[in-house]
Structure 1
Amino acid sequence: MPDKTAPTPPARQAAVRSDGQEARAQLLSTALALFAEHGFAKTSTRAIAQAAGVNLAAIRYYFGDKAGLYAACFGEPLGGNAGDLTHLYDAPDLPVDEALRRFLTGYVEPLKQGEIVRQCMRLHLREMLEPTSQWAQEVERDIKGPHGVLVAILARHLGVRADDDLHRLAFAISGLAMQLFVMHDMVDTIQPSLMRDATAIDRWAERLVGYALALVDAERLRRTALAGKTRKKA
């Protein structure tokens, strides 16, 4: 009789891990599509498991519960935590153009993933319309975090405090990249070559840096002119 206490051979362990990774990835992909289409409340775990072709217990095994699977749909498909950009501010000698290049390049990089990006965008829009507890986490991680880093970089570069106008500037710069996600389908309809492949996305990032620097220069000139007027009045 075989020894049931013998360790699992390495080849079999690798096969098990591979099968598990595939099952988990299939669950995540299926859940993303269904949550994006129907929302959290109207999507059942049974429907997800059936569509993914796995046992219902697999959801509990890999994600804990429905909420855990839903949260994973936000954090995993596009590569994890978008708010982890503190390294850009923690390098005080980094020129503003290079900081903006890294910021915007990282922002648009997920566009290279094609259909997954569309599904993630639909999921985020549905979450905005039908918010769950996940929305507060998304705001803190993927919106507030990157925005705060960008404001800090701009404040240091311009030598000013983070006032309302600096926040306006930061929103305008991040908006340059965000509109590519929001208008993805429209861009594809009007000028499909703009998002045809990875090279086209890289070109977008390059252009966005130039646009962002123009906004920064405009804000610098505005502040300089305002300061001059203030001195004359004094």
Structure 2
Amino acid sequence: MRRSPAPATPTPTEPERRKPRSDGIEARTRLLHTALKLFSEKGFARTSTREIALAAGVNIAAIHYYFGDKTGLYSACFTEPLGGSPRDAVALFSDPELSLREALVRFFAAYLDPLKQGELVRQCMRLHMREMLEPTSQWAVELEQDMKRPHLAMVALLSRHLGLARADDGVHRLAFSISGLAIQLFACGEMVEAIRPSLVKTPQSIDRWNPPLVEYALAMVSAEAALRSVRSPATSAPRKRKEKPV
């Protein structure tokens, strides 16, 4: 009895050939996290690709395969470990249909969520601080995309709710102050953890920051509106009469 020929194995399509295997994803993640740790401790210039590959337990060619080169790996360390960057939050709170409260709830939720990743977020903060002290070409990207863009989006939001046609120094000052409510938990995270660890101990404790920060921010906006409603001391103070020469 003749056997039927075995069915031919289908040739994989191009997308299937390019689809990363699970072990490849694991190697890439391990490489990324190892690089983040070393870059945050030693900086870009003093960290070699050979050192990163050795510590990650992968071939040095993996850096080229997954990230292109050392610069590409360094750039990925600023966005990928935490699942995104501040620029990604802009679309969440910039919708003109949102009330100010709703926009602030979204803003703080997006900014605070990475704090739930513990040591990983601390390494990311060290990396950002090191980049500020020892800037590379990455600094221009960080300044434009992850600092300037979210700030200008907050300025536009505040200007809209304060009824201003153009932003002035006061609105920019207010935007920096509101963003600072969230940023201080990153910049001073280790201090908060040392003084009052219950405030940042669990994901639930991180979420509990959102409601009060929203109220603090709304109070700041109300204070700014009140300041604008009163006359400037310079214009309200009586003019001093000129003394006649004796």
Q: How many angstroms does 1:229 deviate by?
A: 9.2
Q: Give the aligned partner of residue 81 of structure 1.
A: 85
Structure having the higher helix fraction is 1
Equivalent position SS for 1:80: coil
Q: How many angstroms does 1:86 deviate by?
A: 3.5
Q: Choose the corresponding residue for 1:226, options 221, 226, 231.
A: 231
Q: Give the aligned partner of residue 198 of structure 1.
A: 203
Across the aligned residues of Structure 1 and Structure 2, the Cα RMSD in angstroms comes to 2.4
Q: Give the aligned partner of residue 213 of structure 1.
A: 218
Q: How far apart in 1 are the matches of 2:159 and 2:194?
A: 38
Q: How far apart in 2 are the matches of 1:14 and 1:114?
A: 33
Q: How many angstroms does 1:206 deviate by?
A: 1.6
Q: How far apart in 2 are the matches of 1:216 and 1:229?
A: 23
Q: Give the aligned partner of residue 37 of structure 2.
A: 33
User: What is the letter of the counterpart of residue 153 of structure 1?
Assistant: L
Residues 1:24 and 2:28 are matched in the alignment: yes
Q: How far apart in 2 are the matches of 1:229 and 1:94?
A: 37
Structure 2: which 5+ runs fail to align? 1-8, 239-246
Q: How far apart in 2 are the matches of 1:81 and 1:194?
A: 23
Q: How many angstroms does 1:88 deviate by?
A: 2.7
Q: How many angstroms does 1:16 deviate by?
A: 5.9
Q: How many angstroms does 1:79 deviate by?
A: 1.5
Q: Over alpha carbons, which structure has the higher Rg?
A: 2
Q: Give the aligned partner of residue 125 of structure 1.
A: 129
Q: How far apart in 1 are the matches of 2:142 and 2:60?
A: 27
Q: How far apart in 2 are the matches of 1:228 and 1:45?
A: 60
Q: How many angstroms does 1:82 deviate by?
A: 1.8
Q: How many angstroms does 1:123 deviate by?
A: 0.3
Structure 1's 148 and 59: CA in aligned 2 closer, same or farther, altered over 3 A? same
Give the % identical residues: 60
Q: How many angstroms does 1:176 deviate by?
A: 0.6
Q: How do residues 1-234 of structure 1 correspond to structure 2 at under 5 angstroms?
A: 7=11, 17-84=21-88, 85-89=90-94, 91-160=95-164, 161-226=166-231
- Contact kept? 2:39, 2:127, Cα under 8 Å: yes
Q: How far apart in 2 are the matches of 1:201 and 1:131?
A: 31
Structure 1: which 5+ runs fail to align? none
Q: How many angstroms does 1:93 deviate by?
A: 2.5
Q: How far apart in 2 are the matches of 1:73 and 1:189?
A: 26
Aligned residues: 226
User: What is the letter of the counterpart of residue 33 of structure 2?
Assistant: S
User: What is the letter of the counterpart of residue 124 of structure 2?
Assistant: C
Q: How far apart in 2 are the matches of 1:108 and 1:88?
A: 14
Q: How far apart in 1 are the matches of 2:98 and 2:11?
A: 52
Equivalent position SS for 1:75: coil
Equivalent position SS for 2:231: helix
Q: TM-score, normalised by structure 1?
A: 0.90
Q: How far apart in 2 are the matches of 1:69 and 1:16?
A: 18
Q: How far apart in 2 are the matches of 1:37 and 1:232?
A: 55
Q: How far apart in 1 are the matches of 2:23 and 2:156?
A: 45
